[in-house]
Amino acid sequence: MNIHQWKQQIKNFNASFEKHPEVRGQWNKNTLANLFRFKKENSIWNLEWKYYKEKEKAMVLVGSSDCLTKDVKYLKELDEIFCIICANSSLKFLLRHGIKPDYVIALDSDDIDIPQHLDIKRDDITLLASTALCGKALDNWKGPIYFMPYYSIDKELRLKVRRILGKTVRGGGNSITQALFVASIIFGSKTVMFVANEYCFDERKTYYADKKAAKQEPLKVLTSCIDILGRQRWTLPSLYNYALWTEKICADLSPPGFFIDTSFGLLGKDTNAIHVMKLPGAIEKIKNAFKIKNRLNSAKTEEQKLMILDEVTVKHEPSQVYRYNLQEHREQLLQLARS
């Protein structure tokens, strides 16, 4: 997707949004009701560069697609170099399986499902909330809250919010696209791994991994698609847009950003910026990379650094980058599909 197609995608999305004044009205209403909650100290911009350089961590963005049911067990292998940001719809599922995310991200003004997703009795998880989140969910949240100044509200209200919380956080459309923006642009992390972000599904009943999640909306406009493994699947226009937008962001940030998808859905089809691998292998790859980084940081001379780099550099092997080794990469994916 080139830059002109990208701009047209954004334009079309915004034009579609403008056709739903009741949603925008709800966002205005909630933002206005939340004004008393906003303070400079709980602006998300206070977290800018939190995980950059010396404090660097690998961001794990956990969605709620069906593959989470088989991958959740591997998240227990994460250690202190990882930081989990999950969608609100996967929060309770993770907690039931003994996984505590560092952050949960919630965007919608929905006053029925979002409060149920966030209704947990613990104070050790940080909520990243849009300014349009419904008050009921915010009232019940026990842990820290940072607010994201959100888009598509009336200009006068937007200026009020900006004066308190700072510049607007670009809207990503869904939780994980928004989390990608937060992880890369605000937190400053250069390593991001996607978990349970398929953006497609086999059938209507398997859209969410968590069958107990409050929101199981009927899927109306279904579109046929082919996933990264060549399987015939289904998607929604909105999900397809989110996948395109995510790939565009990753392409723009690579390098120095390094992005891995473990979902085997739509991500990784249209750009070589997203590497596709199974979750256990991705975790091990990131752990090894951080070990090498620590060794380089501990090296006292340039000669020692060069020796470490020479030791870890793969020699006489073809590149794993898609554009240089398409045939080998295709064979690897086919083997995964058969396994």
pLDDT digits (tens, 9 = 90+) for 23-60: 678 889 999 999 999 999 999 999 999 998 778 999 99
pLDDT per position as a tens digit, 70-122: 999 999 999 999 999 999 999 999 999 999 999 999 998 888 889 999 999 99
| Residue 78 structure tokens | 């994460």
pLDDT per position as a tens digit, 251-277: 989 888 999 999 999 999 877 899 999
User: 115: cis peptide before it, omega within 30°?
Assistant: no
pTM for the whole thing? 0.86
Please check the confidence at residue 1 and state whether its pLDDT lies above 50. Answer: no
| Helix and strand element counts for the chain (H, E) | 12, 10
Give the residue-averaged pLDDT of 299-327. Answer: 68
The separation between CA 338 and the C-alpha centre of its own chain, rounded to angstroms, equals 28
Find where tokens 């039931």 sit: 96
| Band of residue 3 on the pLDDT scale cut at 50, 70, 90 | very low
